[in-house]
Amino acid sequence: MKKTLSSTLVALLIGGMQVANAAEKSYSLPLSKPGEPVSIDIEVYRGSITLVGYKGDTIEISAKSSTFSGKDKDLKKVKNKMNKNNSSRSTKGLKSVKSQGMRLEIEERNNQVEISSEVSNQHVDLVIKVPQRSSVEVELYKGGDLNIDGVNGELELESYEGMIIANNISGPIVAETARTDIVVNFSDFAIKTPSSLTSHMGNVDITLAKKVAANVNVQTFQGEIFSGLDKDFVVVDEIKKNKKGKKQEIVLGGIMQSKVNGGGQDLSLTSYSGNLYIRKGE
Amino acid sequence: MTNQEIIDWKIASLANNDKSELSEEMQSYLDKNAKLKEELLFIDHFWTNDVKPIVMPSSKLDANFYQMLSRAQSAQQHSVQQGITQLAMPQNGYGASLQEQPVSLLDKVKSWLMPLPIAQFATLALVFVLGFNLNQSRSNNMNNSDYIGLQHEVSSLSTMLAISMLQKDSASERLSGVAYSRQADLSNPLLVEQLIELLAKDKSTSVRLAVINSLGQLKSFGSSEQQLFTLATKEENLLVQIELCRLLLNYGSVDIKNRLTDQANQQLLKPEVQEFIQAQLMASYI
């Protein structure tokens, strides 16, 4: 999160509705400069995020939170430690009161929006409608998936435990997951700056619209590559030979490239143990 | 102390927003070098997007030639006038009656063929040709030195632009900066330093992998090799660690390759990395 952004609007939503131990809230955030570029920065510790691009000029946020059930490994460790230090108290005659509050911070200044939920024992499901032109940066640590649909600006996405699923986007996109898949459907492809999708242990699955022109680079160490493109992939790294031409170095797991529709900006797909799927769309 | 050192210092101070002043040694060097001063001013303006129109060096280069040409022309004009005066003087000496006599065509031809005007014309032509050639060669030398200077300037600007792109907030723009650095002067230590810093600290694996790919284009890692080795052995990101090992095994010195192999043999690295190094070594024996 950018620390320099001073807030002009801080909405601290503390929901009071009791819906089976869950709170639900909606908020409409008008932009300071309608029609101008929008930058959205979202950080959620635990939950899921769905971002939908639309033709409007406000940020529509819908949040549903619930108390975390406590099945997380990290939390268990904390609980065990606490149990050792604190002697258990009698709960006879008392009933359990679950937290019903939601803590979600929203800040906006000059079309720069920050949305964050960093409470570790809160699971929050966010559905956010944003202007199509928005540039979005998201970090999701635990919980569910990150879904994006119809956002045409620059995307920088990180999800540690959930999948990243992006549809109807043009990038540039830089996305990364640890063990989960990245699935991206490109309706177009931005030529401004490179795009890159990296999953350490998960699969990367992309679909390119027919009109997309790009240099698709692929690299996986223990996974496989499946391509539906007309153009073949060729090794980018040259095989090096020594001066006498007797010895040659073969690079294992090197980068391979396919120039789609004559080539264009770089689109790199990388995984250590996941498979890479490159599909041809409509 | 060299021009490049001062330019590098300037770029570094602009990149790090460092307001510190030049050292005494640098200042005294700079005081003696007006051209370098201009270059630093230009870099300053470029960095702050306040680019002023540049004075084209060609005007300076051409000035000497035109001055020479002008001198030659005026000398030619003067000598022709002098020739006319000299031709007229004997006429004056012979009296008014002679002046009034019409000069025949034969006399005119004879006067043209007199040795003095021919010698004068030949001398002038020689001076002009010599002057022109001398000026041309001087001008060429100046052109060459200016061309080299211009190349340095372009190289400095490319480096500066690459460093600026590498410091952007957006990962995609940093990726763009890494791609651009391949076209810039990778022999510039400042740029390599910036790339290695990005490799060590960037939160995006994509950017770090792209940096490793760019560093493969270096002719030699030089003093950065030890730094890269330390990064390779301490790295926690498996993808980055494997790519760093690949970089050092492919392009590193024999010593570094041996040290990396030792690390793998002593099982000091992740099992996946050890496996990768073994596979690389096997392949190199084919």
Size of interface A-B (CB pairs under 8 A): 87
**Chain B: closest CA distance from residue A149 (Å):** 19
Contact B176 A135 (CB under 8 A): no
Contact B172 A249 (CB under 8 A): no
Higher pLDDT, B65 or A229: A229
Higher pLDDT, B224 or A136: A136
Q: What is the rounded CA–CA span in Å between residue A154 and residue A174?
A: 9
Q: Is A123 in contact with A63 (CB distance < 8 Å)?
A: no
Which of A105-109, B15-19, B144-148 shows the highest mean pLDDT?
A: A105-109
What does the mean pLDDT of chain B come to?
Answer: 75
DSSP A173: E
Contact B171 A174 (CB under 8 A): yes
β-pair type (A39-54, A22-30):
unpaired
Residue of B nearest to A272 (CA): B239
Residue indicated by tokens 């996941």:
A274
pLDDT on residue A109: 94
Sign of CA dihedral B111, B116, B118, B120: negative
Contact A194 B175 (CB under 8 A): yes
Nearest residue to A167 (alpha-carbon basis) of A190, A142, A150, A189: A150
DSSP B172: H
State ipTM: 0.79
Tell me the whole-structure pTM to 2 decimals: 0.69
What are the residue ranges in chain A where pLDDT is below 50?
1-20, 75-76, 78-79, 82, 240-243
A207, HSE (Cβ side, Cα atoms, 13 Å): 11
CB neighbourhood size of A279 (10 A): 13
**DSSP three-state, residue B65:** helix
Does the beta carbon of B276 lie under 8 angstroms from any beta carbon of chain A?
Answer: yes
Q: Is B226 in contact with B233 (CB distance < 8 Å)?
A: no
Nearest by CB: B172 against A174, A249, A252 = A174
> What tens digit of pLDDT does each residue of A250-264 get?
555 578 999 999 999
Backbone angles phi, psi at A184, to 5 degrees: -130, 135
Contact B206 A266 (CB under 8 A): no
Q: How confident is the model at residue B135 (pLDDT cuts 50, 70, 90)?
A: low
Set of chain B residues whose Cβ sits within 8 Å of the Cβ of A156 = 170-172, 204
The angle formed by the CA atoms of residues B142, B148 and B152, to the nearest 5 degrees, is 140
Q: What is the rounded CA–CA span in Å between residue B26 and residue A2?
A: 37
> What tens digit of pLDDT does each residue of A156-206 get?
999 999 999 999 999 899 999 999 999 999 999 998 899 999 999 999 999
CA B85 to chain centre: 54
B148, two tokens? 């080299």
Sign of CA dihedral A14, A18, A20, A25: negative
Q: What is the rounded CA–CA span in Å between residue B242 and residue B235?
A: 9
| Rounded-to-10 torsion of CA B269, B275, B279, B281 | 30
Set of chain A residues whose Cβ sits within 8 Å of the Cβ of B176 = 192-194
Q: Is B65 in contact with B128 (CB distance < 8 Å)?
A: no
Contact A266 B179 (CB under 8 A): yes
Nearest residue to B214 (alpha-carbon basis) of B184, B236, B242: B184
Q: Is A156 in contact with A176 (CB distance < 8 Å)?
A: no
Q: What is the rounded CA–CA span in Å between residue A199 and residue A202?
A: 5
Contact B206 A268 (CB under 8 A): yes
Mean pLDDT of B36-46: 77
Nearest by CB: A156 against B172, B210, B276 = B172
Q: What is the rounded CA–CA span in Å between residue B258 and residue B155?
A: 35
DSSP A250-262: --TT--EEEEETT
CA B260 to chain centre: 38
**Chain A: closest CA distance from residue B12 (Å):** 23
Q: Is A111 in contact with A33 (CB distance < 8 Å)?
A: yes
Contact A270 B280 (CB under 8 A): no
Q: What is the rounded CA–CA span in Å between residue B10 and residue A268?
A: 35
Higher pLDDT, B32 or A100: B32
